[in-house]
Amino acid sequence: MTKPAKSAADSNSGEPQYTSSSIQVLEGLEAIRKRPGMYVGGTGLEGLHHLVYECVDNSIDECMAGFATAVTVVLGVDGSCSVSDDGRGMPVDPMQHENPAINGRPAVEVILTEVHAGGKFDSGAYKVSGGLHGVGVKCVNALSEWTEVEVTKDGRLYRIAFERGVVNEPLHVVEERKGSGNGTKISFRPDPDIFPDTHLRYEILQHRLRELAYLNPGVKIRLIDERVDTSGKMREENFFDESGLAGYVKHLNASKATNSPVISIRRDDAASGMRCDLALQYTDAMAENLLAFGNNIPNRDGGTHVTAFRKALTTAINGYGKRMGLFKEKDFVPTGDDLREGLTAVVSVKLPNPTFNNQTKEKLLNPEVEPFVSAAITEQLGAWLEENPADAKGIVNRAKLAAEAREAARKARELIKRKGALDSGGMPHKLADCSSNEVEKTEMFIVEGDSAGGSAKGGRDHVHQAILPLRGKLLNVEKARLDKVLAFEEIRTLIQALQCGIGEDFDASKLRYGRVIIMTDADVDGSHIRTLLLTFFFRQMPELIRTGKVFIAQPPLYQVARGKTVEYVLNDHRMNEVLVELAMRSNATLSLRDDKGEAFATVQGEPLRRLIRDLNRLEELTRISLYRGIEFPRLLQARTTDPEGKGRMPGWQLAWREGDELFHTEAQAATRVKELGLTLVDVGAAGTEVEPAKRATLRVLHENREIERLLEQIAKVGLSSDDWSLVQEEGITGEKLPTKYAWTVDGEKGKPAETMEVPNIPSILQKLHEVGRRGIEVKRFKGLGEMEAVQLWDTTMDPARRTLLRVTWDQASNADALFTVLMGEDVERRRNYIEKHALEVKNLDI
């Protein structure tokens, strides 16, 4: 007799049972929310900005198809982003489909909710596009707290809205727009449940949009940031260039001395639908800067177009040199690396059916691209060399010098190896190595000096963590060839410890550690040493950065002790958060009081936390305005004296801006407006162009637009709009402000509750911080050497508690330009950069 099989409930093993109930079927966009890394590359900054790229790429596809000419990206003060274009507009008519779940639904709804629904599977709607799988914009919808789509089409404005991928506002007509043209606008706010950090970085988007403008000459791209950063800069830029990749190469080389003109190569093939665009130029730099794109998508890992470019370039230049007799018998024939020393190049191909290695499209795989690009370079670069013999000779001679330097570096390496300095069998004496042989689980900390090295050695995990103290400052390798680099002792020590070689001997598979962590002091010297190390890795071992092996440690700035409890705090921003949390444990309640001192309302719990966040932001904006020389208290005081009684400032009192000129008074603004023949617009039109025909751009400062919204949010909590003067000086208001606020907190050690009067709005946070500081001791660290070994372990080295920053290759071209400015020989350019960014410095500790 056969026994019946046990069910999961009958099992006594205690082990999870694998049955049909274990199988999950994720409907709609659930799979994207469950595994976002598979679709957008992760939930870090890369994945966050990928949401914007998906929307922008759709708009650019409309431009490549010839239906759009302009794209606008707006970063909202509420953390949202909107991308709009003047293309055909997403289709809004009902779907005709055999699937009853899709049939009859508006096409725009299907595009936003059904995975693998799109118009780019064949060449009907788009001949060339970056989108392939009908997944991109679905990711945006699925991974956003809310998404709104507005489509202008056939004289009507349509709107549909979603919440975390689910329709919460069906498609409907908002208004008639006869003669207004077509277009699409997608707005979304990244979901904080998915992304730990939802703050979109202006600089990252700026880089990508500028890139797209060069890749698509003639397309107008606009980036507007309605927020404000700590520098208080006006955040709006227009990107437009008709010279294409030649302009991009000039932009990339703006901070370098050039050794050749820009060489442009282009080839179109109507039969295959393929097109390639290339631009290259030689500079006096030591490193190659090569950027590759397939259908406008950056291919960080290259692909068949990069392989073709490198092979054809080597063949064309060496072939020319041999034909012209430029190589003598004793000369070293340049290799591909020699020929690309100092080369800046951009390679872009566009084709109907691109194949990439993954959804984030880091590598182009199409084999037909290689002969296509190779033929274009062989023919056109060969012709250019023949037509420009002086420049061609200069390129060949430079390559010969690079080959000689390579040979000198080889001899230097051999000499050093004979002395044992780079021998794989020996390790530097100052390295405190780890004992594990599992490379991926090990890490090497590069520390500043013997003092920090001593603390790090004492606190480390001896099995998995190695410590390498470096003495003094590293050689600046920005302008040094490899033979000079190898002559520097501390660099030889670093190379010897890593064991992966350098230059043509570099082999990432031989790296002895899974992570290389730079751990320096949080002062000026520490920052300089960190920059020198990053320059070395970027220029001499770029593969370590490409593969994500280099990290920066984040030692804390403060130690907070309360009784036997010790907490370490990373920075000033986090310190304020800790003080608020400590104060909130005392049941802090904010009361709003009338002129007689009677409480008429209280704020506590979650509403109080929201109020504190808003007040923190308002305080930051006040500081930013003062950085810019704006009399912010007077501007806020004007809010209470608005002659129209609307409780908001007239437009002129928000400090109108034209270029770099500010107008602080009505008379100044009125005079300039009259000179321009314009009409001063009300605050409601802030940020918009005035009379575009005259190309005037009088705009209100963006930080004041955010202040307006913050004040409205704070007012909802109940704070009186009559007391917005964030000042204590009697000269501003004419009299001392009456007490209108008070904190009530638990008394210390069983004493009765305590009430503290608060004279004005900025004092609300100051008093709360005072409460948080009660009973705690705060120590500020200045260097790693000040920390005991156990403290350094607890805060900076313990994998379970530390914070590390990974150095990535996301914006290699920006990094190349920045290293050239900071570490190159152009002193004037470096001074201008420092002056421009001086107000952005945080935690400066000299």
Cα separation, 757 vs 836, whole angstroms: 42
Q: Which of 114, 191, 521, 816 is catalytic?
A: 521
Which residue shows structure tokens 């020393």?
341
Distance CA 410, CA 503 (A): 9
Q: Exposed, middle or buried by CB within 10 Å (0-12, 13-18, 19+), for 45? A: middle
As given in the structure block, the two tokens for residue 300 are 């960080």
Residue the block writes with tokens 């305590």: 754
**Contact between residue 161 and residue 153 where contact means Cβ atoms under 8 Å apart:** no
277 included as an active-site residue: no
CB atoms within 10 A of CB 260: 18
Distance from the first to the final alpha carbon of the chain: 85
b/e burial code for range 318-329 (CB count within 10 A of at least 16 → b): bebbeeeebbee
Buried b (16+ CB within 10 A) or exposed e, 810-837: ebbbbbbbbbbbbbbeeeeebeeeeeee
Cα–Cα distance, 813 to 208 (Å, whole number): 11
- Provide CB contacts within 8 A for 354, sequence distance 6+: 132, 294, 295, 297, 361, 364, 366
For the chain, the C-alpha Rg in angstroms (whole number) is: 31
Q: How far apart are CA 594 and CA 582, in angstroms?
A: 28
Q: Which of 391, 523, 543, 826 is catalytic?
A: 523
Q: Which residues contact 716 (CB under 8 A, 6 or more apart)?
A: none
Q: How crowded is the C-beta side of 1, counted as CA atoms within 13 Å?
A: 2
C-alpha distances out from residue 245 to 7, 207, 263, 279, 809, Å: 66, 15, 10, 6, 21
To the query of whether residue 748 is one of the catalytic residues in this protein, the response is: no
Q: What angle do CA 795, 800, 801 make, to 5 degrees?
A: 30
Q: Is the dihedral of CA 37, 43, 49, 52 positive or negative?
A: positive
Respond yes or no: is residue 163 known to be catalytic: no
| Catalytic member of 62, 145, 448, 708 | 448
* DSSP 8-class letter at 824: S
CB 702 within 8 A of CB 235: yes
Closest to 447 (Cα-Cα) out of 472, 464, 422: 472
Tokens of 296: 């406008």
CB burial readout 410-449, b (16+ within 10 A) else e: eebbeebeeeebbeeeebbeebbbbebeeeeebbbbbbbb
Widest CA span in the chain: 103
CA distance 303 to 294: 9
CA pair distance 784, 775, nearest whole angstrom: 26
Tell me the C-alpha distance between 647 and 721, whole Å: 7
Q: Is 2 exposed, middle or buried (0-12, 13-18, 19+ CB in 10 A)?
A: exposed
Known catalytic residue: 414?
Answer: no
Side chain identity, residue 354: P
Active-site pick, 525, 567, 577, 723: 525
Of the candidates 141, 138, 106, the residue with the CA atom closest to the CA atom of residue 120: 138
Q: Sign of dihedral through CA atoms 560, 562, 563, 567? A: negative
Closest to 33 (Cα-Cα) out of 193, 236, 210, 207:
193
- Residues identified as active-site: 448, 521, 523, 525
